[in-house]
């Protein structure tokens, strides 16, 4: 399973989201790879991804995708990530 | 790789900012003052928000100001600015912002690891309010140095 985290320039905020998404997946005991990307690269990166995690501000920039787009409000709140990933990936 | 040391001259307590570009400029000034970047980097941090929006407001009250590595980054650096009056960045959930963490990274490869360390600092939900209420730079420095080791 593949999860993409996206921010504007692909470093900085997406790196934080990647670390905490990995912590959430570990808690859910879900085996998935998490890839950080930027607006420019999201289409290619998400082609075979199940989920895209990003900010509410960037949802429109994703365009058409088959992945579930999940908006994360607080990037430091692993509990928020656990709840939203659990709903999306259903365990 | 741990966070770069946060020097006292990269910390501004109680800055006044009328709007978000002024708040980002305060963070840029702190990076310039501490020798991490030139003022051109400040403009690029503002440009990221103009291009992509307020997504850098990644938690309630906290903005992570940064841009891509570039010639205007002199060395890896971190700064912290607290605002007297919180400023709206235009984020639907996390406004207003009272703490700005500024990040300058010389090489793209460094970025991931050292930003991951920031997650370790801020995963403690008491940290943002504590920083927002800080009355001196030494306190802010201690918050970051505690987790840097």
CATH number of this structure's domain A2-89, picked from the four choices 3.30.70.3000, 1.10.150.120, 3.40.50.2300, 1.10.3720.10? 3.40.50.2300
In the predicted structure, residue B94 carries a pLDDT above the cut 50? yes
CB contact B24 to A (< 8 Å): no
Residue closest to B62 by CA, chosen among B42, B82, B44, B38: B82
Whole-number pLDDT of residue B147: 55
What are residue B30's phi and psi, to 5 degrees? -70, -35
SS3 B87: strand
Number of other residues whose CB lies within 10 A of the CB of residue A57? 22
ipTM passes above 0.90? yes
Q: Are A56 and A73 in contact (CB under 8 A)?
A: yes
Q: For domain B8-148, say whether CATH 3.40.930.10 is its number.
A: yes
Residue closest to B90 by CA, chosen among B146, B50, B134, B32: B50
| Pairing mode of beta strands B11-15, B77-87 | parallel
Chain A hits for B55, CB-CB cut-off 8 Å, are: 7-8, 13, 54-58
Alpha helices (runs of H) in A7-77, residue ranges in sequence order: 13-28, 42-45, 59-62
CB contact B70 to A (< 8 Å): no
CB contact A36 to B (< 8 Å): yes
In the predicted structure, residue A90 carries a pLDDT above the cut 80? no
Q: How far apart are CA A14 and CA A4, in angstroms?
A: 9
CB contact A73 to B (< 8 Å): yes
Whole-number pLDDT of residue B149: 43
Q: What digits encode the pLDDT tens for the residues B120-149?
A: 899 999 999 999 999 999 999 999 886 544
Q: What digits encode the pLDDT tens for the residues A3-48?
A: 999 999 888 899 999 999 999 999 999 999 999 999 999 999 999 9
Domains in chain A: boundaries: 2-89
Q: A22 vs chain B: nearest CA distance in angstroms?
A: 11
**A1 is written with which tokens?**
């399973």
SS3 B50: helix
Over residues B32-57, mean pLDDT: 97
* Interface test with chain A among B114, B119, B124, B131, by most A beta carbons within 10 Å: B119
**Length of chain B in residues, anyone?**
149
User: What beta strand segments (E) does chain B contain?
Assistant: 11-15, 57-59, 62-66, 77-87, 97-104
Of A11, A19, A73, the CB nearest to B119: A19
Q: How far apart are CA B129 and CA B137, in angstroms?
A: 15
SS (H, E, C) A78-91: HHHHHHHHHHHHCC
In the predicted structure, residue B2 carries a pLDDT above the cut 70? no
């Amino acid at each position: 399973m593949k999860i993409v985290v996206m921010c504007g320039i692909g470093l900085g905020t997406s790196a934080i989201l990647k670390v905490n998404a990995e912590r959430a997946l570990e808690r859910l005991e879900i085996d998935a790879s998490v890839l950080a990307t930027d607006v420019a690269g999201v289409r290619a990166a998400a082609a075979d991804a199940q989920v895209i995690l990003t900010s509410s501000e960037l949802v429109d920039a994703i365009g058409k995708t088959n992945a579930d787009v999940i908006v994360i409000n607080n990037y430091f709140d692993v509990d928020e990530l656990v709840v939203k990933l659990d709903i999306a990936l259903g365990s | 790789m741990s966070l770069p040391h946060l020097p006292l001259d990269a910390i501004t307590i109680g800055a006044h900012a009328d709007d978000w570009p002024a708040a980002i400029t305060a963070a840029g000034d702190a990076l310039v003052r501490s020798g991490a970047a030139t003022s051109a980097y400040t403009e690029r941090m503002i440009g990221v928000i103009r291009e992509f929006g307020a997504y850098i407001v990644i938690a309630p009250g906290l903005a992570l100001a940064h841009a891509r590595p570039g010639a205007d980054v002199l060395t890896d650096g971190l700064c912290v600015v607290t605002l007297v009056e919180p400023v709206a960045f235009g984020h639907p959930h996390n406004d207003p912002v009272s703490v700005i963490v500024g990040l300058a990274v010389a090489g793209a490869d460094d970025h991931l690891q050292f930003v991951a360390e920031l997650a370790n600092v801020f995963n403690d939900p008491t940290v943002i309010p504590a920083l927002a209420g800080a009355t001196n730079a030494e306190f802010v420095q201690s918050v970051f140095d505690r987790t840097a080791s």
